Structure 1
Amino acid sequence: MRIRFATEKDIEGIARVHVESWRSTYQGIIAESVLSNLTMEGRIKKWAQIFERGQSDSVIYVLEDEDGMINGFFHGGKSRQPELGYDAELYTIYLLQEVQGLGYGRQLFDTFVDTLKQWDYSSFMVWVLEDNTSLHFYKKLGGHVIASKEIKIGEELLTEVALGWGKDEEA
């Protein structure tokens, strides 16, 4: 497996990982009606729009196997909520279920942190659904809870938690 900068040619692979990881990760957390309505077409359209906007203040990396198949990715950059006091934000990080628990999430996370250092960001945050098991992953990496909010997904209100890493902390 290798981690590399994503290009527009990766949109379909990113969309596939996005859909498949949502269906496996959020099963039992998000309503089945929401998960079953996720489509490749919808995710491809969303990721195409992200790439069209450009990445002057954000970055996307993919995790690909030796056959060029994308197994994970992250997207992050400038904080979308600077009022919380963090420079940057990890917007999304997803891995296919079959490669979770093998250290690739940590490698993607470390790549994100290295990118932030190159951009002179000193702190960052991530939003995670409270019931998502990855919350423990982020806490293990040194993230601490800085905020929470209720969000509506489908017809349900769910709690989302923000974790942060400051400039004086090690990721």
Structure 2
Amino acid sequence: MIEGVITIRNAREGDAKGIAEVHDAAWRDAYRGIIPGRELERMIARRGPRWWHSAIVRGSRLLVLDFDETIGGYASYGRNRVPSLRYGGEVFELYVAPEFQGLGFGKRLFETARKDLSEHGYPSFLVWALADNERAVEFYKRLGGLNVRQANERFGSEIRARHAFAFG
């Protein structure tokens, strides 16, 4: 019998490389065909292990899905970056490596971030998702998110719609 331990915990300095690997794979999987290729690769390149190490050292709220010491996903969250919207918190990113998707780990990461946001005074929060990222849009709808706003985001010369989903 093979047993594995799966935990969701706060990121540690040694997790930076694993988070970067999840980021790269999950972004390519989620955004290929949505974000123009050159722009997508530029965005991915900006978030290497050094960037993630810096985020961890700065004390960013960053959870990881740890599967037997392999990082399988992450969530970053904190105060809402759009003060004109009446929601206190925001889940900035939630990504699960392609090989860990469809197993409920995204929901577990989301619920852990939700609980932490609430415990730190943010019972209501937003999550933004590109409208063309149907998996993400359906994921947040299934979790009870209400589409409260649409905005546009530029990727090189192309513009994509994105939705803000509200919780709480």
Query: What is the TM-score of this pair, normalised by structure 2?
Result: 0.89
CA positional deviation for 1:42: 4.2
For residues 127 and 151 of structure 2, the distance between their equivalents in structure 1, rounded to whole angstroms, comes to: 13
CA positional deviation for 1:30: 1.1
Q: Secondary structure at the match of 2:48?
A: helix
> Does structure 2 retain, via aligned residues, the 8 Å contact 1:88–1:123?
yes
Query: Which residue does 1:91 correspond to in 2?
Result: 92
Q: Deviation digits for residues 8-50 of structure 1, max 9, x if unmatched?
A: 2111111111111111111111112233445567422332332
> Does structure 2 retain, via aligned residues, the 8 Å contact 1:20–1:96?
yes
Q: Deviation digits for residues 84-130 of structure 1, max 9, x if unmatched?
A: 00000000000111111110000000101111121122200011000
Displaced runs of 4 or more, over 4 A? 37-42
Of the three residues 11, 15, 25, the one matched with 2:16 is 11
Query: Which residue does 1:152 correspond to in 2?
Result: 154
| Greater shift in the superposed pair: 31-40 or 107-116 | 31-40
Asked if residue 23 in structure 1 is aligned to residue 24 in structure 2, the reply is no
Query: Which residue does 1:169 correspond to in 2?
Result: none
Unmatched 5+ stretches in structure 1: 167-171
For residues 119 and 83 of structure 2, the distance between their equivalents in structure 1, rounded to whole angstroms, comes to: 19
Asked if residue 54 in structure 1 is aligned to residue 55 in structure 2, the reply is no
CA positional deviation for 1:156: 1.5
Unmatched 5+ stretches in structure 2: 1-5
> Does structure 2 retain, via aligned residues, the 8 Å contact 1:16–1:40?
no
Aligned 1:1-171 pairs, distance under 5 A = 1-37=6-42, 42-55=47-60, 59-66=61-68, 68-132=69-133, 133-166=135-168
Percent of aligned pairs sharing the same letter: 36
For residues 38 and 113 of structure 1, the distance between their equivalents in structure 2, rounded to whole angstroms, comes to: 26
